[in-house]
């Protein structure tokens, strides 16, 4: 009875004074490892602000950029699922047990452009065609620009790669490098590649131009060979349990902020980031090598067996590749 009387008194007081007791906003933590002022960092800050605006202040998003929360990119999924953080950028290849289908996008010779691979990734995620994606709430499924070779010494055809120690992010790319005659070094996270090159541990790296610029790989090499050797699938993901705990209005704010407009910004930023990486290399006087027809055939001949073996060895390889090609066909037929 006393509780009810006190509640009634509070309501009466608010009515007299014309004030209302506003609910405290729900605070979400958005942690990622890219620098705050990098192109992706700016998009993530803008996304946080957009969520707050669309929620009419009922959500507050605190961004922790540049690895300030966690230095190791591969640990972000664990922090997300433990509830320590609420939103994160994920590199699918760094948690292959959770996202075993990521290697589809690492395959060479399958996708023709950044736009094509990102839209394919997003559609396959929305359709539930990628294993493990249901363990998080996907706000955006995107990708880096294409993997290229960044070398410390001159490139003189595919045969010149024989014996070179080249860093690769995952087993598929290590297999591809081995097929090209290189000594594939086990992958380390992208934040340590420049150190490996500077120390002499590695002679080169298979990496997209955009992260190569952001993580200071370009100054450590002198040549760049354009292969188009697959793409790294990335996610902006939210803890599913945290998302489900929010009100319908708050969930709608997040959904609206992470819709097609966000994906278009990510596509444009990825393309621009790749171009900026090429420009940075050119400004340092580096040679950027486009394979001539003979070298291109040598590359394709060497790596096609890698694709064929992946289809046979991956439990869902044929289905994934068929789904991806069907999605690309949808996109290119419009």
Q: Count Cβ neighbours within 10 Å for each residue of 108-131 and write b for 16 or more, e otherwise.
A: bebbebbbbbbbbbbbbbeeebbe
267 close to 275: Cβ distance less than 8 angstroms: no
**Maximum Cα–Cα distance for the chain, whole Å?**
88
CA distance 49 to 60: 8
CA distance 118 to 186: 26
287 close to 222: Cβ distance less than 8 angstroms: yes
Prediction pTM value: 0.87
The correct answer on CATH 3.40.190.170 for the domain covering 24-94+114-143+232-274 is: yes
290 close to 296: Cβ distance less than 8 angstroms: no
- Per-residue confidence (pLDDT) for residue 4, from 0 to 100: 39
The residues, any chain, with a CB within 8 Å of residue 159's CB and separated by 6 or more, are 181
3-class DSSP state for residue 235?
A: strand
- Per-residue confidence (pLDDT) for residue 3, from 0 to 100: 38
3-class DSSP state for residue 225?
A: strand
How do 147-151 and 204-208 pair as beta strands? antiparallel
- Per-residue confidence (pLDDT) for residue 22, from 0 to 100: 57
Q: Kindly list the strands in the beta sheet with 26-31, ordered across the sheet, starting from the edge strand earlier in the chain.
A: 59-64, 26-31, 87-91, 233-239, 136-143
Say which CATH architecture domain 147-230+276-332 belongs to: 3-Layer(aba) Sandwich (3.40)
For the chain, which ranges sit under pLDDT 70? 1-22, 187-188, 334
CA distance 222 to 194: 13
Q: Per-residue pLDDT tens for 50-85?
A: 999 999 999 999 999 999 999 999 999 999 999 999
- Per-residue confidence (pLDDT) for residue 6, from 0 to 100: 41
- Per-residue confidence (pLDDT) for residue 188, from 0 to 100: 59
Structure tokens, 213: 């610029």
| Domain residue ranges of the chain, discontinuous segments joined by + | 24-94+114-143+232-274, 147-230+276-332
- Per-residue confidence (pLDDT) for residue 333, from 0 to 100: 87
């Amino acid at each position: 009875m006393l509780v009810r009387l006190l509640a009634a008194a509070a309501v009466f007081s608010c009515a007299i004074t014309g004030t209302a007791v506003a609910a405290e906003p729900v605070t979400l933590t958005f942690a990622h490892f890219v620098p705050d002022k990098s192109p992706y960092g700016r998009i993530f800050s803008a996304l946080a602000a957009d969520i707050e605006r669309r929620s009419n202040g009922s959500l507050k998003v605190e961004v922790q950029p540049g690895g300030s929360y966690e230095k190791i990119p591969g640990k972000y999924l664990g922090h997300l699922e433990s509830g320590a953080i609420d939103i994160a950028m994920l590199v699918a290849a760094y948690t292959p047990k959770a996202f075993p289908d990521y290697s589809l996008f690492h395959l060479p010779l399958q996708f023709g452009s950044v736009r094509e691979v990102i839209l394919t990734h997003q559609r396959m995620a929305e359709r539930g065609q990628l294993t493990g994606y249901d363990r998080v709430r996907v706000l955006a499924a995107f990708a880096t620009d294409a993997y290229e070779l960044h070398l410390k010494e001159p490139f003189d055809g595919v045969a010149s790669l024989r014996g070179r120690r080249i860093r690769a992010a995952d087993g598929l790319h290590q297999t591809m490098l081995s097929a090209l005659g290189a000594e594939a070094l086990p992958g380390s996270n992208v934040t340590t590649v420049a150190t490996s090159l500077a120390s002499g541990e590695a002679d080169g790296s298979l990496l997209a131009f955009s992260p190569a610029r952001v993580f200071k790989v370009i100054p450590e090499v002198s040549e760049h060979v354009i292969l188009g050797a697959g793409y790294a699938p990335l996610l902006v993901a939210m803890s599913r349990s945290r998302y489900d705990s929010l009100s319908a209005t708050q969930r709608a704010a997040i959904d609206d902020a992470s819709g097609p407009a966000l994906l278009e910004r990510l596509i444009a930023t990825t393309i621009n980031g790749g171009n900026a990486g090429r420009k940075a290399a050119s400004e340092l006087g580096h040679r950027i090598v486009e394979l001539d027809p003979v070298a291109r055939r040598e590359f394709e001949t060497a790596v096609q067996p890698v694709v064929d073996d992946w289809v046979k060895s991956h439990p869902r390889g044929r289905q994934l590749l068929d789904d991806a090609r069907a999605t690309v066909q949808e996109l290119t037929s419009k």
